[in-house]
Structure 1
Amino acid sequence: MIVSLIATLMAHPETREELFRLLVDQVGPTRAEHGCIDYNLHIDASDPCVFVFYENWESQADLDAHMKMPHLEPLLSQIDRLLAKPIEMWRLQPAELAATG
């Protein structure tokens, strides 16, 4: 089953440009990964320190493999310093798969 995620990252104002460069640098390599359907980086229109990823993976195993990729290391090794708060993440499922009640 397809795994869909939305992840929100908020930079400190003083680390915004550094975080932005690190995030942009991982888009290309991630899109080339096995199982990546799409991987899109957005910036909040009202707050340039807020970045949002919308991503779809063919399986949970593909997403798990992504999280271990070496191109994520420059970001993950500095995440506490770069972010103003912890990453917020939502795992989504198609509405037609949701239980009706």
Structure 2
Amino acid sequence: MPLPVVAVITAKPGSEDLVREALSELVPPTRDESGCLAYSLYRSTEDPTVFVTVESWREADDLAAHMRSEHIAAAFAKAGDGFAGRPVIHSLEALDEA
């Protein structure tokens, strides 16, 4: 069963463009990862400092490998201190499936 994940990343006010650019650069290489089933980046319409990724991974080990990838390290380096805090990553469990 795939592993759905939602990550919430908040930029410091004034750093929204920097964080958006850094996160946008993650999308193509992440989608190319062997264990990635889906990966989309969104920004909140209510709060422009809040970015959300909606992801699906083959298994937890694939997500762990993603978190250790060079493109994750590069995005965090590019965003520098533009993040308001650490990303909040939620691995999800389906409650409506038998």
TM-score (structure 1 length as normaliser) = 0.86
State how many pairs are aligned: 97
Structure 1 stretch displaced more, 66-75 or 56-65: 66-75
Which runs of 5 or more structure 1 residues have no equivalent in the other structure? Answer: none
Note closer, same or farther for the CA distance 1:44–1:54 as it changes in structure 2 (3 Å cut): same
| 1:9 equivalent in alignment to 2:27 | no
The answer for the alignment partner of 1:48 in structure 2 is 48
Question: Which amino acid in structure 2 is aligned with residue 70 of structure 1?
Answer: E
SS in 1 for 2:28: helix
Aligned sequence identity (%):
31
Q: CA RMSD in A?
A: 1.7
Structure 2 vs 1, CA of residues 53 and 91 (structure 1 numbering), >3 Å: closer, same or farther?
A: same
- After TM superposition, give the deviation of residue 23 of structure 1 in Å: 0.3
CA distance in 2, matches of 1:61, 1:89: 15
Structure 2: runs of 5 or more not aligned:
none
SS in 1 for 2:26: helix
Q: Which amino acid aligns with 1:8?
A: V
Structure 1 segments of 4 or more deviating over 6 A?
Answer: none
- Residue 33 of structure 1 aligns with which residue? 33
Normalised TM-score (structure 2): 0.88
